[in-house]
A and B are shown apart, each in its own frame.
Chain A
């Protein structure tokens, strides 16, 4: 028990040396495939990935994303390991007539951002996890290309 406590203490010291990621930038990765419906009408099958990247954190070997929701943050959120300072998630998809693709894509991203939140942390080579970033809405972006935090980093 004492050893476990000591080890836990070491972990938290290593984690303390890591900093929360900063410098977030959001881009969108769109794919489109023209199709023809059975009644002859042209449509586009589309899909959009929301891609969030950030500056390399000192001491980080990898990164970890954790997910929350607008219905609440789970006590033990699901996590995802990331090899690089970048998270890409399939955030909206649909099939639309060509003139509706942009509106439907924006609506799809809005609905996703109304649901899913993400926060990321640096992970040291020995597995220690640093402090997490703010929670961001997946799917949102500001006019200058940043994600929108819905709540600050955990205190």
Chain B
């Protein structure tokens, strides 16, 4: 892996033991300009920070967990990002058989978890070390690595220019080679499955994948820069319910969430002491007191690429839920919705035109919808009473009233694509 040489500086992180984190380019602590600095959201958990190294331009999102150990480091390469609720364990416990497989791959406890440049750990994904991601010589043409929503790398090696789709997994002892992407929901447990697209678990990477990855890297480098700028301007603004950093192409201003009206007519709220991260132009129908009662913890509703997100009354939102969307691809959530643990709801223009606006129809979730644990919804219309089962994904689909997507199901284009195999 190619890395710049890190320097060690102190950094006051709210949730860490008072140790030292090695971070390249911490703003204000070195001569490094803010444009090159990394940013760690104050809600991120860093265990044994003396064994964690972040290189330049790294963004670590809300409630990410980086769990290093004395013998097992974590190294995050330049221009990589660790998004909301990502879990990284440098050395995970596993059974004898899996330990042997990991060892045969050449991974050692002392490798911990290391990434090369431009490795993207998207919302809710996880890595169980030892594991190496982004292995190989970085070139301008390669796309790094993309680990999608709620996917998992477990005791594996992921070479550069590859990736995992949503809710997929690469298991112990497997090396995912350059040029291949694991399909949604697939569990790759043998080297043959990882190497041969004909076995139905991987596919070749495309130029569109490469352009996407490059774009995501740039966006997150921008987030690191702008969150650092926000923190510099107002250190309390990166906590709790607060403003987005603004400063990007489509979201120049710094907006705070509002309450008591999903139509954004209610009062603006800033509450740095609130336990969750509710960021930017998110409009809640519930009052602040109700949100306090119905929300679990480690929740990241992040409208920092724009907004607004219209959020109706919440029946119950369990821990580790993530919302994210691009401005213009509105995200609208109805009343009495129940969100399971680690639900990811991602806005995005649906693959149909809205005749009134002339652009893609927005992502809409109706009333009384239920999301199971680790469910994913993206670019879809979920009508009233629809249910997305545990560890299922709905993408680009239009669910009928009361339609139930069973647990562990990938549902794309209004049809079942396949099971989630783990």
Contacts and interface: CB of A to CB of B under 8 A. Distances in A.
Interface of A: 35, 37-38, 43, 45, 47, 50, 67-78, 89-96, 103, 106-108, 110-116, 134-135, 137-140, 142, 148-152
Contacts of B348: 70, 114, 150
B422 interface: no
B274 interface: no
B207 A111 contact: no
Contacts of A110: 351, 395-396, 412-413
Nearest to B357: A152
Interface string B342-354: 0000101101110
Contacts of A43: 198
30 contacts: A45-B198, A67-B212, A72-B219, A74-B219, A74-B222, A74-B249, A77-B218, A78-B211, A90-B206, A90-B208, A94-B183, A94-B204, A96-B200, A103-B413, A106-B412, A106-B413, A107-B184, A111-B165, A112-B206, A113-B396, A116-B211, A137-B349, A140-B351, A148-B353, A148-B360, A149-B358, A150-B326, A150-B348, A151-B349, A151-B359
Contacts of A37: 196, 198-199
A116 B348 CA distance: 11
A150 B413 contact: no
B218 A74 contact: yes
B393 to A, nearest CB: 10
B248 interface: yes
A43 B200 CA distance: 10
Contacts of B305: 71-73
A116 B214 CA distance: 10
Contact of B211 (A45, A76, A89, A151): A89
A71 B326 contact: yes
Nearest to A48: B206
A145 B412 CA distance: 21
B214 A67 contact: yes
Nearest to A146: B353
B378 interface: yes
Contacts of A68: 215
User: Of B184, B198, B358, B378, which is in contact with the most chain A CB atoms at under 10 Å from its CB?
Assistant: B198
Please tell me the size bucket of the interface on B: 35 or more
B208 A150 contact: no
B203 interface: yes
Given A112-B206, A135-B328, 7 more contacts: A70-B346, A70-B348, A70-B379, A71-B326, A74-B219, A134-B359, A138-B208
A94 B351 CA distance: 21
User: Of B183, B209, B214, B218, which is in contact with the most chain A CB atoms at under 10 Å from its CB?
Assistant: B218
B197 A77 contact: no
Contact of B208 (A91, A95, A134, A135): A91
B360 A149 contact: yes
B258 interface: no
B197 A137 contact: no
B378 A137 contact: no
B269 interface: no
B324 interface: yes
- The 8 A-B pairs with the shortest beta carbon distances in the complex, nearest first, are A74-B218, A72-B219, A151-B328, A150-B349, A69-B215, A95-B197, A94-B203, A90-B207
